[in-house]
């Protein structure tokens, strides 16, 4: 079974609108971390946001927020007020296990977002 | 701070050749790792290191070797390149807050 599932290979959004990128995960660990990365066409991996499994509040970083639904095992990324520069590939990733003893990130297959002017 | 640097940015090899991808970080991070990204896919972990002298295998280690003699450097060696190793390779280091910093990547083509 896939550990990280991103079911949307590609999405469009109109500039200035909000968009939600879906991510579901599968783990039996109680302690884990969830990450979102942005990969523009230039190829670098840019960290966007992090949510720990014990964090009670949803993580937010500027226009990015993570809609964390633990019981459903979902960690959707919400981008508010989309900008043309948000057009990129977005990856959801998970660290299984405790931060001080687990080091591997497991990545989903990504969602390509295109922002329309 | 330069962050995580990788060299070369591009490389073309013939089948059977060997080479070393270089990775260095100046943030004094203990944990470093190598990932590969194949077209249309997410990153997969090749090898990782939790400190100088300590390395371990990730998800796809076959055909690659690593060593970690210093905190700063974590080279990845391809022993005998194969076309299946054509990929983009990312080096990363992780801070105590669990944030991974990625290098710019090395695009490798094996003919």
Contact A98, B97 (CB under 8 A): no
Binned at pLDDT 50, 70 and 90, residue B100 comes out as confident
pLDDT tens digits, B73-91? 999 999 999 999 999 999 9
CB A88 within 8 A of CB A41: yes
Distance of alpha carbon B43 from alpha carbon A77, whole angstroms = 19
Residue entry with tokens 């790792």: B33
- pLDDT of B40 reads 80
As given in the structure block, the two tokens for residue B18 are: 């060997």
Provide the pLDDT for residue A1. 65
Per-residue pLDDT tens digits of chain A, which is 117 residues long:
679 999 999 999 999 999 999 999 999 999 999 999 999 999 999 999 999 999 989 999 999 999 999 999 999 999 999 999 999 999 999 998 777 777 788 999 999 999 999
Of A103, A104, A107, the CB nearest to B42: A107
Quote the CA–CA distance of B93 and B3 in Å, as a whole number.
Answer: 9
For B61-83, what is the mean pLDDT?
96
Render pLDDT for B29-51 as a digit per residue (tens, 0 to 9): 999 999 999 988 889 999 999 99
Burial class from Cβ neighbours inside 10 Å (0-12, 13-18, 19+) for residue A101 reads exposed
The pLDDT of residue A25 is 97
* B42 with A33: Cβ contact below 8 A: no
Asked if residue B96 has pLDDT above 90, the reply is no
**Range list of β-strands (E), B3-97:** 4-7, 10-13, 19-25, 31-37, 43-51, 54-57, 64-66, 76-78, 87-94
What is residue A85's three-state secondary structure?
helix
Determine whether A74 is exposed, middle or buried from the number of CB atoms within 10 Å of its CB (0-12, 13-18, 19+): middle
pLDDT attached to residue B53: 93
Residue that has been written with the tokens 């971390």 in this structure: A33
- Can you tell me the distance from the alpha carbon of B28 to that of B61, in angstroms, rounded to the nearest whole number? 25
Residue of chain A minimizing CA distance to B97: A99
Quick one: pLDDT at residue B28? 93
Instruction: Name which of A8, A31, A105 to mutate to probe chain B: the one with the most chain B Cβ atoms within 10 A of its Cβ.
Output: A105
Q: Is the pLDDT of residue B7 over 70?
A: yes
């Amino acid at each position: 079974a896939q550990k990280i599932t991103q079911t949307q290979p590609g999405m469009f959004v109109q500039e200035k609108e909000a968009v939600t990128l879906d991510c579901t995960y599968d783990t039996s660990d109680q302690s884990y971390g969830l990450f979102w990365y942005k990969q523009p066409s230039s190829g670098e991996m840019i960290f966007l946001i992090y949510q720990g499994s014990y964090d009670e509040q949803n993580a937010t970083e500027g226009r990015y927020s993570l809609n964390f639904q633990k019981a459903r095992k979902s960690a959707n990324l919400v981008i508010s007020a989309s900008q043309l520069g948000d057009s990129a590939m977005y990856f959801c990733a998970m660290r299984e296990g405790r931060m001080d003893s687990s080091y591997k990130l497991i990545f989903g297959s990504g969602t390509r977002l295109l922002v329309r002017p | 701070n330069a962050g995580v640097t990788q060299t070369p940015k591009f490389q073309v090899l013939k089948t059977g050749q060997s080479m070393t991808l270089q990775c260095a970080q100046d943030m004094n991070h203990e944990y470093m790792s190598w990932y590969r990204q194949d077209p249309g896919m997410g990153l997969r972990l090749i090898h990782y290191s939790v400190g100088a002298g300590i390395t371990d295998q990730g998800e796809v280690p076959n055909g690659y070797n690593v060593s970690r003699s210093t905190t700063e450097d974590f080279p990845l060696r391809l022993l005998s390149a194969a076309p299946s190793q054509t990929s983009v390779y990312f080096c990363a280091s992780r801070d105590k807050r669990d944030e991974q910093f990625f290098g710019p990547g090395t695009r490798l083509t094996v003919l």
